[in-house]
Amino acid sequence: MGDHIKIRKATGTWVVRAGGAVLGETTNALELSEGDMPAVIYFPRADLGMAFLEASETRSSCPFKGEATYYSIHTKSVVIKDAGWSYEDPKELVSEIKDYIAFYPQKAAVEQL
């Protein structure tokens, strides 16, 4: 069923930037691989500037991960709607991603330093 999802600690240091601001930097990122889709880096909330992020009303559902809450990025220069997502109460299979946020690559730059 959900055995096509793999979660592992992402090696090295990761940074996320958007709208001219550094939103976070971490050595505690997780990498989630799902089937043939590109791997996604999840950042722990503790390593993000949560003042830049505001939960939106957008929600989606995944049969394997649960309901996703979306976040918009607010910087001095721009608001980037629904740029990231989080599983506030993930299914047991992916419980490691609780309290982590991932970002769309076309809305925020996620890079390994």
Q: What is the mean pLDDT of each run of 10 residues along the chain (113 residues)?
A: 83 95 97 93 98 97 96 93 97 96 97 96
CA dihedral 110, 26, 21, 100 (to 10 degrees): 70
Q: Which amino acid is at 108?
A: A
pLDDT of residue 28: 98
CA dihedral 18, 38, 33, 72 (to 10 degrees): 30
pLDDT of residue 1: 42
Torsion sign, CA atoms 111, 6, 64, 93: negative
Strand partners, 31: 8, 41
> For residue 70, how many C-alpha atoms fall within 13 Å in the half-sphere facing its CB?
13
pLDDT of residue 2: 55
